[in-house]
Amino acid sequence: MVDSMRILVPRDLLEATIDLLRKDMFALHELGRKQHLEILFQLYILSGFYPSDPPLQGWEVATADIEPIASAEYADIWKGMFLGRQKVALKRIIRRRDDDLKGAVQMSSLPAGYADKWKGMFLGRQKGTITGSLKRDDDLKDAVQRVNIGRHLWNGLRHPNILPTIGLVTDGIDIGPCLISPWMDCGDLLEYLHHHADVPCLPLIGQIADGLEYLHTYEPPIVHGGLKGDTIFISSTGNAFIGDFRLLQTFSDIEQSRGSMSSSWRTPGNPRWMAPELLLDDTAESRSLSSDVFAFGRVIHECFTRRDPWAGFSSARIIFVVSRGELPPRPLSEDVISRGLDDNMWRLMEHCWNLNPSERPTIQHIARHLRPAIQSPRRKFQYFYYASEYLCALFDAEVMNSILSETQHH
């Protein structure tokens, strides 16, 4: 019935009805609101979208616990209910210091500004300033503004591997302003893999690539800016969803604001997943499609090893070795090899981590190579990097003909 109603009722009419009902509910007493909650929830199901404005209110979202159930790099996370019917995650943006960045080895300290900085060498040759995490109240305010921009942008995205956003709640909730998204029963990527040791890596990697390809081929292209295992969530059915829209921005917006945005937004996140060009404050490099690809390579590393990249290294040490051009050592344990980390997959990871951003493959190129092995389990994953798009097209045609031939014979 729901599917047929979606066909019969125009989306714009449903959106207008939801907006009117929410405005009426703002003025109603609590008892009057409860009578309308079921209607509002069913309208969300029919329309397939969530409200963007005005922000959600406390009567629409409630926390299930007094204390957060988890803490991430920039947020504390609560479990809650949306309209009393749908499990959701509430993320409260916070400011957190990264104490690992205080004592960078073999680097001389510079006078403190609004971020921790060290003087170092890029690839052992180029002098630069390496920047730590955001520290100042102005940056926290900037963070909230960026979250709001990302939220509006994310609201328009529709893809099977992109986590939907429900909205931002600002008033009527004790824990303060929070971002709301659907609850993922299996947690983030590493949490899921730790509890499901036999899950094959390749399908998950393919789903993450598909989601990132959707962002990068959106019009205009979208840079995620914070891709890593704990920003990828797994549903109860084992499907991967890219989430965390805190740093989301269109590529055109990044180009227009280059040089004007704060350092904490040019160089966000954790150095375990950051491209080397983002670690040098003096270069003023912004997050980019190619830095997303670099992070994707690190995510592949997480899938096979079940550990963070550079496990056992402090943030300061990671900054030092990455700025010198070093790569994580190739894992050679039997467990990792049995999960599929062979020469082809390692070659893909190394190309993602190319020190020159312009020489990294596009996520479209990567997804093209992943799909044949995912669609036809009898095929082994193969990776070739062609600088020529013509050769890429020839490769795609050859692979598709091979898959069709296999299908016909079976």
- Cα dihedral 23/27/32/34 (nearest 10): 50
Sequence-separated (6 or more) residues with CB below 8 Å from residue 347: 383, 385
Q: What number does CATH give the domain 186-409?
A: 1.10.510.10
Task: Fill in the amino acid letter for 260.
Answer: S
**Weakly modelled stretches of the chain, pLDDT under 50:** 1-7, 98-137, 259-267, 284, 388, 390, 403
Sequence-separated (6 or more) residues with CB below 8 Å from residue 324: 121, 122, 123, 124
At what angle are helices 11-26 and 30-47 packed, to 10 degrees? 170
pLDDT of residue 20: 82
Gap between the Cα atoms of 385 and 142, Å rounded? 39
List the one residue out of 263, 260, 266, 273 whose CA is nearest residue 247.
Answer: 266
- How many contiguous H segments (helices) and E segments (strands) does the chain have? 14, 14
For residue 268, say if its preceding peptide bond is cis, omega within 30 degrees of 0: no
Percent of the chain with pLDDT over 70: 67
For residue 54, say if its preceding peptide bond is cis, omega within 30 degrees of 0: yes
Helices marked H in 164-267: 189-195, 201-216, 251-257, 263-266
pLDDT of residue 330: 95
